[in-house]
Structure 1
Amino acid sequence: MSLAFALLSVFLVLFFFWLFPLFFRGIPWQPTDMRRVRRMLEMSRIRPGEVLYDLGCGDGRILLCAAREYGAYAIGVELNPWLFLLAWFRVLFSGLRSKVRVVFGNIFSVDLSRADVITLFLFEHVNEALKEKLLRELRDGTRIVSYIWTFRGWTPKEVDRDLRLFLYVKGESEPKGSGAV
């Protein structure tokens, strides 16, 4: 096998499994540090038995923390195949398989109607594109915690400026009469 063929093969594998998913509204993976993970869950006021969805779950750290430390059921959605597998294996070996599930797919295709809490670390344009879906599928009172990026036009119920976290509540954070989340 020639060096050129080997390099081309490596490039194609990296493109397909890391860059290709980004063309479908994704963002590059930037892991959220555990201090922020715990603060996001604290801000969400998640309780045992509630259902958390982490949109773009990466390595599954929010899912595992929510299940282990808060007794929540956690569902992660991940489009990047490598990250999906990483999260899946972390769940497999965590002892929390009955409380945590990882879905390989696009966040726009997953039914979020069971969610009590949504966590996300997505670009602002992705948050904007999610508004209609959240409006359609979430129940009033569902808590949404976003890291760094806001939802334009929504009023956060709580802000942690130091950690750049924003808590929104469906039915309370949207402009009155707008029909937006």
Structure 2
Amino acid sequence: MLLRRPDVGFIPTPDAAIEAMLSLADVTASDILYDLGSGDGRILITAAQRYGTRGVGIDIDPVRVAEARSHGETAGVCDRVSFHQADLFESEFQTATIVVLYLLPHLNLKLRPRLLDQLKPGTQLLSLDFDMGDWLPDRVIKLDTPDEESTLYYWRVPETLPKT
């Protein structure tokens, strides 16, 4: 069942960006990684395979969720990751230690208040290619590979929240 039309079309996260995200966040087996708009599940599956990370993928598209679940089963990581068909603007992700996004700028801005309301101080937030408006990132990394040019934005949720 489709809850509503997806806000964006599916664009797979490039492998180099996945590597950079997981490296920058210093992902470990004790982390709980949430991928909001998880698509085919490649970020969570990679984190689970390499680091033993647990995680949750949320996507509104039932086709993508089924694909991610199938990929998770094939990779043998379904004991550590799960994929849910849900509206990320209505979802809960308080248990996350790391959140990754690959959404458009207006969607990041729409999601920002919910992220700041739910996430604990110190939670890591990474966004591929798009920032969070006037919430300045802690780090910006330019990725330049033969196949792709992209930008990785990184924040830690602060003790004192930025104004939204």
Same fold, judged at TM 0.5 (above) = yes
Q: What SS does the aligned partner of 2:64 have? A: helix
- Does the 8 Å CA contact 1:156/1:173 hold for their aligned counterparts? no
- Give the unaligned 5+ runs of structure 1: 1-15
Please provide the CA RMSD for this pair: 1.7
Work out whether 1:121 is the aligned partner of 2:108: no
Which residue in 2 is equivalent to 1:140? 121
Work out whether 1:107 is the aligned partner of 2:91: no
Q: Which has the higher contact order (CA 8 A, sep 6+)?
A: 2
Q: What SS does the aligned partner of 2:11 have? A: coil
Tell me by how many angstroms 1:47 deviates. 1.7
Which residue in 2 is equivalent to 1:166? 153
Work out whether 1:36 is the aligned partner of 2:17: yes
> Percent of aligned positions with the same letter in both sequences?
27
**Richer in strand (by share):** 2
Distance across 1 between alignment mates of 2:29 and 2:139? 21
Which residue in 1 is equivalent to 2:54? 73
- Does the 8 Å CA contact 1:154/1:174 hold for their aligned counterparts? no
Mapping of residues 78-89 of structure 1, within 5 Å: 78-89=59-70
Distance across 2 between alignment mates of 1:144 and 1:173? 16
Which residue in 2 is equivalent to 1:12? none
Which residue in 2 is equivalent to 1:94? 75
**Richer in helix (by share):** 1
User: Which aligned segments of 4 or more residues in structure 1 are displaced greater than 2 angstroms?
Assistant: 172-175
- Give the unaligned 5+ runs of structure 2: 144-149
Larger radius of gyration: 1
Q: Can you list the C-alpha shifts for 1:155-175, whole angstroms capped at 9, x where unaligned?
A: 211111233000011007954
Structure-2-length-normalised TM-score:
0.89
Q: Can you list the C-alpha shifts for 1:73-123, whole angstroms capped at 9, x where unaligned?
A: 011001111111100111122111111100111111221100000001000
- Does the 8 Å CA contact 2:58/2:84 hold for their aligned counterparts? yes
Which residue in 2 is equivalent to 1:21? 5
- Does the 8 Å CA contact 1:51/1:116 hold for their aligned counterparts? yes
